[in-house]
């Protein structure tokens, strides 16, 4: 099975940005509710929002980890492709010069 690493990375990054934006709004409202004693949310809704923030935090962390792992994979594939295109390898041993071997 061939994975489209670029598509996976783009999806995870997009999802992470959307979740982060949503969590930012929820956290700002939650803090304003507590600091100014506005009582915007009833206690039951506050528990639901707390649960959502925790769950979305786990999903956000997972998206970031998947993006990092996929990017490492993309970097490794690109490095292997670059190495294959090098004209010849330079193997240096103790006392050898920087000249390529013929």
Residue 41, domain member (yes or no): yes
Question: What 3-state class would DSSP assign to 68?
Answer: helix
Residue 52, domain member (yes or no): yes
100 phi and psi angles, rounded to 5 deg? -65, 150
Query: Is the whole-model pTM more than 0.85?
Result: no
pLDDT bracket for residue 95 (50, 70, 90) = low
DSSP conformational letter for 98: S
Residue 31, domain member (yes or no): yes
pLDDT of residue 101: 54
With 80 as the cut, is the pLDDT of residue 89 above it? no
Count of domains observed in the chain: 1
pLDDT of residue 86: 78
Residue 100, domain member (yes or no): no
Residue 16, domain member (yes or no): yes
Alpha carbon dihedral 49, 51, 56, 62, in 10-degree steps, equals 170
Residue 10, domain member (yes or no): yes
What is each CA distance from 60 to 8, 21, 54, 90, in whole angstroms?
15, 11, 10, 44
pLDDT tens per residue, range 9-68: 999 999 999 999 999 998 898 889 889 988 888 889 889 988 989 999 999 999 999 999
* H-helix segments, 1-102: 5-35, 43-85
Q: Give the range of the structural domain holding residue 19, as residue numbers without chain letter.
A: 5-83
Give the chain's length.
102
Residue 99, domain member (yes or no): no
């Amino acid at each position: 099975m061939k994975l489209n690493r670029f598509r996976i990375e783009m999806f995870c990054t997009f999802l992470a940005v959307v979740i982060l934006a949503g969590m930012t709004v929820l956290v700002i409202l939650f803090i304003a509710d507590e600091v100014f004693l506005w009582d915007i949310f009833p206690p039951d809704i506050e528990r639901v929002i707390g649960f959502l923030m925790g769950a979305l935090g786990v999903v956000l962390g997972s998206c970031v980890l998947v993006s990092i792992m996929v990017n490492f994979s993309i970097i490794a594939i690109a490095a292997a492709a670059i190495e294959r295109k090098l004209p010849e390898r330079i193997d240096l041993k103790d006392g050898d010069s920087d000249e390529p071997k013929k």
